[in-house]
Amino acid sequence: MSSADRIKAPRGTFDVLGEQSAARAVLEERARAILEGAGYERIETPAFEATELFARGVGDSTDIVRKEMYTFADASGRSLTLRPEGTAPVCRAYVEHGMHKLRQPVRLWYLSSFFRHERAQAGRYRQFWQVGAEALGSEDPAVDAESICLLAALLDELNVAPVRLRLSSLGSLAARNEYREQLQAHLRAHAEGLSAEVRERIELNPLRAFDSEHPGTRAVMERAPRLLDFLDAEDAEHFAEVRARLDGAGVAYEIDPTLVRGLDYYTRTVFEFTSEQLGAQSGVGGGGRYDGLVEQLGGAPTPGIGWAAGIERILLAGSAPHPAPVPVDLFVAYELAHEGDSPARRHAPAGAFALLTEARAAGLTAQMELAGRSLKGQLGYANALEARYVAILGAGETVLKDMLGGGQQTVAADAVVHAVLRGLRSL
């Protein structure tokens, strides 16, 4: 077969290898420490869900539902979709498992992969990972502020810099509907200045006009009415309290009345962290309140707030500290019985495998030679692994080398593990 016949990973997907997977392990460990320390419990939901969940939850008029979902019919003809985001699935699980009976708020976090058929580029993939946190069952502005502070803490811990935090409030659905009409009237009155795409979406999704880069559209939007001016007294009070909590916590933010997020379920607080480091795909993480979502999915009226941050973007914009490598206590090497054999035919002697399993059973981390290297090559490999001890199995005896102290001793085969344990304990 020629190299043209090789099968590659699909566009917009990637393999996680070596250092990348080590950096992800650190990120996961930090996220767990921060979120579980704040009372969040881990949740895993299925990779695919009924399509209806996202159509109803995320919203029919959003780009995600209209253009970006991986939707397929299974063998029984049911329409399923690879999850494009995690909030609707978490709310579905909350309703399905009767979590309203638990102590509120119920706080859940996840780290999983998500799927969106987007134009692939640096920082934008078709399968990507998010770490997310959702708090259901409390309307207290302190929950909003706490949620934002937790994401700020995570980004800080992973050295994501420089970050900006944009904050706004979308108010209640009623206020938003009234605002929507006013915005549509403004857009219709200035339709000639708008991009064709925005003009086509005046009826369906007028708020997205704020995201446009088109110069004419931007000029029209500068004079557009602002949603923040439409908040009713309770929503304005809630927003003021969130801001006061953030001020108290020393978290810097900018009020951005043009902040619209690409999902329909938001009410009241919305926020987004961006990093200059990321170029065009500058959103590191974002979220907001979704006080109507649980009810929309068939549950009792339940407020909720949360966020999600892209793992790839965090790693691109930050520098996760490297994890300490797992130490190798013992490397099992052996003298070759037949030097002349090709490496593929030089199989390890049974005694080497027996020693490996004995060492692991005793709680040591151990590896052995598996590629038929010369003894010199084996010692070089053990050195690269930074193995603490190397046992070299010979015809009649076993030599145990202390790679740190530099000494070596001849020991009986059944005394090797004991000698290593004694050596490690004396450190």
The helix (H) or strand (E) run that includes residue 168 is: strand 163-169
Minimum distance of ligand HAM from residue 155's CB (angstroms): 11
Minimum distance of ligand HAM from residue 320's CB (angstroms): 15
Q: How many CB atoms sit inside 10 A of residue 50's CB?
A: 13
Burial class of 119 by CB neighbour count within 10 A (0 to 12, 13 to 18, 19+): exposed
* CA angle (405 as vertex; 400, 408 as ends), nearest 5: 25
Minimum distance of ligand HAM from residue 293's CB (angstroms): 9
Asked if 13 and 116 touch (Cβ cutoff 8 Å), the reply is no
Question: Quick one: 124 or 360, whose CB is closer to ligand HAM?
Answer: 124
Question: Quick one: 43 or 309, whose CB is closer to ligand HAM?
Answer: 309
Question: Quick one: 133 or 348, whose CB is closer to ligand HAM?
Answer: 133
Question: Quick one: 239 or 290, whose CB is closer to ligand HAM?
Answer: 290
Burial class of 378 by CB neighbour count within 10 A (0 to 12, 13 to 18, 19+): buried
Minimum distance of ligand HAM from residue 125's CB (angstroms): 4
Q: Name the residue with the smallest CB distance to ligand HAM.
A: 310
* Ordered strands of the 408-411 beta sheet: 366-368, 330-334, 389-393, 398-402, 408-411
Provide φ and ψ at 78, rounded to 5°: -75, 140
Minimum distance of ligand HAM from residue 312's CB (angstroms): 5
Question: Quick one: 87 or 138, whose CB is closer to ligand HAM?
Answer: 87
Minimum distance of ligand HAM from residue 386's CB (angstroms): 35
With CA atoms as reference, report the closest residue to 387 among 305, 330, 426, 341: 330
Minimum distance of ligand HAM from residue 336's CB (angstroms): 49
Question: Quick one: 146 or 312, whose CB is closer to ligand HAM?
Answer: 312
| The two three-digit tokens of residue 390, written as one number | 């190397």
Helices (H), 256-393: 293-296, 311-317, 350-361, 375-384
Q: Where do contacts with ligand HAM occur on this chain (CB under 6 A)? A: 85-87, 116, 118, 124-125, 128, 130, 132, 134, 261-263, 283-288, 290, 306-310, 312-313
As a whole number of angstroms, the distance between CA 299 and CA 56 comes to: 13
Question: Quick one: 110 or 179, whose CB is closer to ligand HAM?
Answer: 110
